């Protein structure tokens, strides 16, 4: 048991963290580390904070909170879960496998697109809350950070399993097994209407190397030396510890899936396998509808071309259309390859980030 003084101090520190989000844009990533802490009864917060304001508007975060509450975790375990959701990937080892799976699923899910800001206005005691975005963007910020490949596999398998006819269940299992073995991956994302390269990522799990390249930003994350090197479009370099927030696409499932978590699938989604003229490739499609801030409905389609033998994705296409009497338009294409570690090391060297020779 904590004595009262210590409890007061901890509660104060906890609330300060909440209000550290004043005048800032709070999305799911911001809210997630707070979710387990909100379940610690001694810290029951009865005031509105920038974080509770996000939860009031965000169905996905509320669902995550309910799932965490359903685990009935001890205070110590809730603290571990909070650390994990704050990005400390080795924090949940003391949790039961079932609890770990829930926490990892939360950690890898996409931002819901709900972004809020809260501020105090002079002369008023209540928070002023504004929804910056009721609906998410299309290209960036699509995927939330993930702890490890295991979490991505669980989600991917669950996603595939949900609407899969029993006859093709074997494919799911093979896909699952194949993804487990992925050590190196490279993804090139092309703006399909213009065929311009938007971004590239290179990941080598054995080497602890993750590289992100776009016109405006380069990031090299090296877990081997606990360092992240960021370069902006002016050439300015920033170095931070590797546990600091990594660009979301540098973590499994590397921006390859529209929803990190099946609970985020909209009610109208549809999952199906398509005929493919190439017998070595299986094609799967996921379609769903997004309702934008102005009430318009945007239909989206994800099409994955998977290697029939390895069951790994080769190409992924992202389509959109405004109504079902119009054809889908191809927006983005992702080309996926599985290079060897040496190729990833070479890409890191070629990026010019880092000091060369020290990989
Ligand atoms: Zn949220």
Domain assignment of residue 290, yes or no: yes
Q: 303 C-alpha vs ligand 1 centroid, how far in Å?
A: 26
Q: 259 C-alpha vs ligand 1 centroid, how far in Å?
A: 14
- pLDDT classification of 110: cutoffs 50, 70, 90: confident
Question: Domain range for residue 52?
Answer: 4-133+144-163
Domain assignment of residue 55, yes or no: yes
The pLDDT tens digits of the residues spanning 207-223 come to: 989 898 988 888 898 87
Q: Does the pLDDT at position 152 exceed 50?
A: no
- Range in 35-49, 134-148, 171-185, 188-202 the model is least confident about: 134-148
Domain assignment of residue 148, yes or no: yes
Q: 134 C-alpha vs ligand 1 centroid, how far in Å?
A: 11
Could you identify the residue written with the tokens 């990005």?
87
40 and 175 in a single domain? The answer is no
Q: 123: exposed, middle or buried (C-beta count within 10 Å: 0-12, 13-18, 19+)? A: exposed
Q: What percent of the chain has pLDDT over 70?
A: 72
- Between CA 95 and CA 147 the distance in angstroms is 15
236 and 265 in a single domain? The answer is yes
pLDDT in the model for residue 187: 93
| More confidently predicted of 262 and 199 | 199
- pLDDT classification of 44: cutoffs 50, 70, 90: low
Q: 356 C-alpha vs ligand 1 centroid, how far in Å?
A: 40
Q: Does the pLDDT at position 317 exceed 50?
A: yes
- Between CA 18 and CA 49 the distance in angstroms is 6
The listed range with the strongest mean pLDDT (68-77, 122-131, 177-186) is: 68-77
Q: 314: exposed, middle or buried (C-beta count within 10 Å: 0-12, 13-18, 19+)? A: middle
- Between CA 202 and CA 341 the distance in angstroms is 10
| E strand spans, 99-216 | 115-120, 127-133, 184-191, 196-204, 209-214
- Report the mean per-residue pLDDT for the chain: 76
Q: 54 C-alpha vs ligand 1 centroid, how far in Å?
A: 6
76 and 158 in a single domain? The answer is yes
| Residue 168 near residue 306, CB atoms below 8 Å | no
Which phi-psi region, left, alpha or beta, contains residue 23 (left: φ > 0; alpha: ψ -120 to 50)? left
């Amino acid at each position: 048991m904590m004595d009262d003084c210590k409890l007061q101090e901890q509660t104060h520190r906890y609330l300060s963290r909440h209000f550290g989000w004043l005048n800032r844009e709070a999305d799911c990533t911001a809210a997630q580390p707070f979710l387990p802490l909100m379940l610690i009864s001694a810290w029951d917060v009865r005031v509105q904070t920038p974080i509770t304001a996000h939860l009031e508007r965000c169905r996905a975060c509320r669902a995550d909170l309910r799932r965490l509450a359903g685990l009935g975790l001890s205070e110590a375990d809730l603290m571990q879960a909070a650390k994990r959701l704050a990005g400390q990937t080795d924090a949940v080892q003391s949790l039961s496998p079932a609890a770990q799976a829930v926490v990892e699923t939360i950690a890898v899910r996409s931002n819901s697109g709900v972004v809020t800001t809260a501020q105090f206005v002079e002369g008023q005691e209540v928070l002023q809350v504004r929804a910056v975005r009721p609906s998410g963007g299309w290209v960036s910020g699509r995927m939330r950070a993930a702890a490890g490949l295991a979490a991505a596999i669980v989600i991917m398998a669950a996603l595939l399993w949900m609407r899969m006819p029993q006859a093709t269940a074997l494919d799911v299992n093979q896909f699952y097994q194949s993804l487990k073995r992925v050590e190196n991956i490279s993804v090139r994302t092309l703006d399909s209407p213009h065929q311009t390269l938007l971004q590239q990522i290179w990941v080598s799990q054995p080497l602890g190397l993750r590289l992100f390249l776009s016109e405006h930003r380069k990031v090299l994350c090296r877990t081997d030396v606990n360092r992240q090197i960021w370069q902006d479009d002016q050439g300015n370099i920033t170095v931070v510890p590797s546990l600091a927030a990594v660009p979301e696409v540098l973590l499994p499932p590397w921006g390859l899936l529209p929803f990190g978590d099946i609970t985020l699938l909209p009610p109208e989604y549809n999952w199906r396998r398509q005929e493919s003229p190439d017998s070595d490739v299986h094609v799967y499609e996921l379609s769903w509808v997004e309702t934008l801030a102005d009430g318009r409905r945007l239909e989206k389609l994800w099409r994955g071309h998977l290697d029939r033998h390895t069951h790994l994705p080769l190409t992924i296409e992202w389509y959109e259309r405004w109504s079902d009497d119009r054809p889908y338009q191809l927006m983005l294409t992702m080309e996926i390859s599985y290079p060897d570690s040496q190729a990833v090391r070479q890409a890191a060297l070629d990026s010019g980030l880092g000091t060369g020779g020290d990989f």
